[in-house]
Amino acid sequence: MEVTTKSMPYEAWKDNEYIESLVKELQDNGTNVIVGSFDKLINWGRSNSIWPLTFATSCCGIEFVSLGAARYDMARFGWEVARSSPRQADFIMVAGTIVHRMAPVLRRLYDQLAEPKYVIACGACAVSGGPFKKSYHVVMGVDKIIPVDVYLPGCPPRPEAMIYAIMQLSRKIKVEKFFGGVNRQESQKEFLAKHPIADVED
């Protein structure tokens, strides 16, 4: 099954093996014809209007601003509705370094996002700590605190790269099973069980 989005030719994607393995994993048990059709319809809608949370800690956030301005214009893709409240957003673009003091705050923001929710680790700091690998106060990758869907390297990534990353996310959303067993949520539950926070019900 060739999964693509925004008229991007399938061959132009760099990691088709991954998406194919994901499709295989999700559809191993077969799909119900009726539910599957509904899935396709609703995922078409969802993948074309993913709303980001306005969240930026450092340099990557400024490139995200450029992404919203006229030149790169993410409104073309339906992502321009950046919400300031996590309860109205679909995904967090973790744009910038996350440090020890910020870690519980980010986790709380993630918990406040409405299901289904997604995370893009944007920039070298969010992916792995980046240039601050030797620091005493930096979290070495946000995947230590929250589950990540798309990793986007770069310091900071160019706006074009950000477009590519969000398109990857939209492609992932397209193959999900929205009705019935949402496979993604299972892995998310496992992750949250392994990373408990006191006084927070997951």
Partner 1 sequence: MADTQEIITGLFPKATFEEGDILTVVIDDSQWHDLAKALRDTPELSYDFLVTIVGMDWVEKLGCIYYLTSTKYNKRIAVKISTADRENPALTSVADLWHIAGIYEREVYDFFGIVFLGNPDMRRLFLSIDWKGFPLRKDYDASPEVNPVPQDNERQSDFTNVYSRAEDGKIECRQERVFEENDFVVNIGPQHPATHGVLRFRTAVDGETIKKIDVYMGYIHRGVEKICESLTYPQTLHFMDRLDYFSAHPYHHGLCLAIEEAAGIEISRRAKVIRVMMDELSRIASHCLFIGTFCMDLGATTMLFYALRVREQILDIMDKTCGARMTFNYECVGGVMQDLAPDFVNDVKALLAVIPKNLKEYDKLFTGNVITKNRMEGVGVLSRENAISWGVTGPSGRASGWACDVRKTNPYSIYGELEFDEVVRSEGDSMARFKVRMDEIAQSARILEQLVDNIPDGEYCVKVPKVIKLPAGHWFRTVEGCRGTFGVYLESDGTTNPYRLKLVTPSLPAAAVVDSLTRGGKIADLITIGGSLDYIVPDIDR
Residues near partner 1 (CB under 8 A) = 54-59, 61-63, 65-66, 69-71, 84, 86, 96-97, 99-105, 108-109, 131-132, 134-139, 144-145, 155-156, 158, 195-199
Per-residue H/E/C for 3-69: CCCCCCCHHHCCCHHHHHHHHHHHCCCCCCHHHHHHHHHHHHHHHCCCCEECCECCHHHHHHHHHHC
CB of 113 to partner 1, least distance (A): 12
CB of 96 to partner 1, least distance (A): 7
CB of 39 to partner 1, least distance (A): 33
- Output 53 or 173, the one with its CB closest to partner 1: 53
- Output 33 or 198, the one with its CB closest to partner 1: 198
CB of 81 to partner 1, least distance (A): 13
